[in-house]
Structure 1
Amino acid sequence: MSAPTPTAPSPFTEQAMPSWRRAVLKVGSSLLAADGGGLSPRFALGLAQFVSAHVQAGREVVIVSSGAVAAGRAIVPRAAEAGAAMAARQALAALGQAQLIALWQRFFERPVAQVLLTHDDLRNRRRYLNARATLLELLRLGALPVVNENDTVSVDELKLGDNDNLAAIVAALVDADALFIATDIDGLYTADPRSNPHARALDEVTELTPEVFAMAGGSGSSVGTGGMRTKLEAASKAGAAGVETYLFNGRSAEVVRGLAQDRLRGTRIHAAQTRIAARKSWLRHAPVEPGAIVVDAGAARALADKGASLLPGGVVAAEGDFRRGDTVEIWLREDSGQRRLARGISQYSALDIRRIARRHSRDIESVLGYNYGENVVHRDDLVLL
């Protein structure tokens, strides 16, 4: 569905946004594509100012940006038309990626980092952890990650996927508190406002029911791959991970300026539960690999009483043959035997853990020749049983 023209007053009521620490901003192709082909800074500038305002306030933002294919089409305009062979579109994506990153870099003094992902990267737990570690390190270094699908090699993703859902997955990946979806519409309506004069603007959605999904129409843009329904699907994924979603009109300078001040004119879609609760629930019910990490009483007290991460110094042994990124149980070794204490995502394989058990975190790299951080299991990836 489409909203009224961007120059018209927004039918959505301004509302204060909850506080957030880290967010993902998804920017659609319709906001970046120039009328004659290629990329335009017209709307990107305001969105970049929104990002800069929050980064200067001490918050962190990851951008998920479409637009590579549109940029590539301007470089080689006759290479492919809409509906052309997949290989031609992949070539356009490869040509356009550099243009897309250059567009974003021009707005920021801080370095912009390109991160290309496929859904396979995010389904595979070990590659998921590697992607997570890279993005968090980029944020720690003060860089601005710009994420896009790796369209040049991901045939299925380019044909069937969309960056709305990728943004939701990235929001869960980096433990974001908020997912902002910038598009060319004002937000969600009860019906298509172009054809139904009684369509109402929805400032807030507390639950994504089948009735809410029925309100969504198709894509209103010739350059994008998703419509309002994919945005609701993305909000559903984000909400399951405890991340709230905000839909807003990225073409409205007034709306974007308001967001820089934590004021929303658009649709707020509530999360099903808190981010921490969602992650802990997933860990509690996720299938575990055979084997376990065995800890001593001191480590058990730190985990249970202090909510600490599991460090190698408190590890007694590793049983089984699990790998980095696997969800495993954590057992407490006592005089009477071993009992289940917790479960979590291991940052190291069982073989590596045997080598670093009882060692200080600073010794990990000298023992293994590499390190994935000082924790064997991070507290955010751990739940007590």
Structure 2
Amino acid sequence: MQISKWKRIVIKVGSALIAPHGNGCSSHYLLSIAQFIVRCREQNIEVVLVSSGSIAAGSHLFPGEVKNIATKKAMAAAGQTEMMATWDKLFDFPTAQILLTHADLKDRERYTSVRETLFSLLEYGLLPIVNENDTIVTDKLKVGDNDNLSAMIATAADADALIICSDIDGLYTANPQVDKKAKLIPQVAEINDEIYAMAGGVTSSVGTGGMKTKIQAAKKAVSHGITTYIVNGFTEQSFNTLLQGGNPGTVFLPEQNPLKENIHWMTHTASAQGEVVIDCNSSPELADDPSKLKSEEIVSVNGEFAIGDTVLLTNNDGTKVAKAEVNYSSCLLSYLSEQTLDVEAQENLTTKGPIISDKNIAILNKSE
């Protein structure tokens, strides 16, 4: 996809680019990225920046070896302001800070609010700068890495392209730092097990994401029709090549039949609050249309969830069937699954609506 066709892009910048030397933020590697953003905007391409780096930026203010999680959160609080100030001074247009946790994205109402905020900022010409809120996030609420966060934001923003900056040129057949025979893969048409197998571990001592998380992010993005690049963020030439319409690293081509926004959100962003085990063997149609689920086809109910929550539907052989919005609480479904209901009782349930909402269903064997 040529840059001339882009209307909106998301660019992800990691901690190693923000604070490469461990003594606070540095603009050394950020200048070329900022210039790229400026030149994109000059071509009427809207840009959203996903920037890691708050902990790395604030770590120099807390000397000594830090193992305490509370102190790392304090690092994030101090480093976030320094990081935003560093970005802000590189632009002659206003920026805006958006701090998120996974809870803000997996809840449909809050996710929609994030979308509306992004669209409003872009409409008024501001540069949204997004980061995970490391100061308050917990293990239960965190995305965990900004590669996957950038893919979620690219989807939320309806971006045309996602550019993930790395410390190497792209995806290689093997780790190029240990295997001299490793070759750069310029284009990936399908992300499969072979592609995942090529992804090594973390290559940076500063960041939390390695090549595997970048592939995961690319999978999320291309399934929504977003062209995704992994490029070397440490070289200015990467961004010059992009501006010239070239590919400086690895490009992941968008899927031909991308998921609709609500199905993509259900598949890749929403978190299942519980599990409903069903019997697809006796009712094969459930594998393609779980909205037809009846109480007698429920084998068991695991976890606690409320009406409107997202649940994972699993066949009794352990196969994941779908993620979907449920119209009954876990308590009621557990009761129903243990009862033998007569015809009148089944009709009464039907009048209250189906067990599974037919509006938000992601069939996992088709969409993952």
Give the TM-score of the pair, scaled to structure 1: 0.66
Give the TM-score of the pair, scaled to structure 2: 0.69
1:8-87 pair list within 5 angstroms: 19-74=5-60, 76-78=61-63, 81=65, 84-87=67-70
**Cα deviation digits, residues 162-198 of structure 1 (max 9, x gap):** 0000000000001111100011110011112233232
Q: What residue number does 1:299 align with?
A: none
Alpha-carbon distance change, 158 to 68 in structure 1, aligned in 2, over 3 angstroms: farther
1:282 is displaced (CA, Å) by: 5.2
Separation (CA, whole Å) in 2 of partners of 1:252 and 1:150: 28
1:35 is displaced (CA, Å) by: 1.4
- 2:261 pairs with 279, 303, 322, which one? 279
Structure 1 unaligned regions, length at least 5 = 1-14, 288-320, 328-342, 346-385
1:126-165 pair list within 5 angstroms: 126-156=109-139, 161-165=144-148
Structure 1 counterpart of 2:25, which letter?
L
> After TM superposition, which residue ranges in structure 1, 4 or more long, deviate above 4 angstroms?
15-18, 157-160, 280-287
**How many residues in Structure 1 have an aligned counterpart in Structure 2?**
278
Q: What residue number does 2:296 align with?
A: none
**Cα deviation digits, residues 124-165 of structure 1 (max 9, x gap):** 011011111111100001000000001111121797700000
Q: What residue number does 1:337 align with?
A: none
1:243 is displaced (CA, Å) by: 1.2
Alpha-carbon distance change, 159 to 278 in structure 1, aligned in 2, over 3 angstroms: closer
Counterpart secondary structure, 1:221: coil
Structure 2 counterpart of 1:20, which letter?
W
1:242 is displaced (CA, Å) by: 1.6
Structure 2 unaligned regions, length at least 5 = 271-306, 309-323, 326-357, 361-368
Query: Does 1:189 pair with 2:172?
Result: yes
Query: Does 1:109 pair with 2:92?
Result: yes
Identity of aligned residues (%): 44
Separation (CA, whole Å) in 1 of partners of 2:265 and 2:15: 35
Q: Is contact 1:283–1:344 with CA below 8 Å preserved after alignment?
A: no
Query: Does 1:120 pair with 2:103?
Result: yes
Q: What residue number does 1:270 align with?
A: 253
Alpha-carbon distance change, 283 to 101 in structure 1, aligned in 2, over 3 angstroms: closer
Q: Is contact 2:8–2:47 with CA below 8 Å preserved after alignment?
A: yes
Relative contact order (C-alpha < 8 Å, sep 6+): which is higher? 1
Separation (CA, whole Å) in 1 of partners of 2:54 and 2:201: 22
1:257 is displaced (CA, Å) by: 1.8
Counterpart secondary structure, 2:139: helix
Alpha-carbon distance change, 191 to 127 in structure 1, aligned in 2, over 3 angstroms: same
Separation (CA, whole Å) in 1 of partners of 2:171 and 2:267: 33
Q: What residue number does 1:7 align with?
A: none
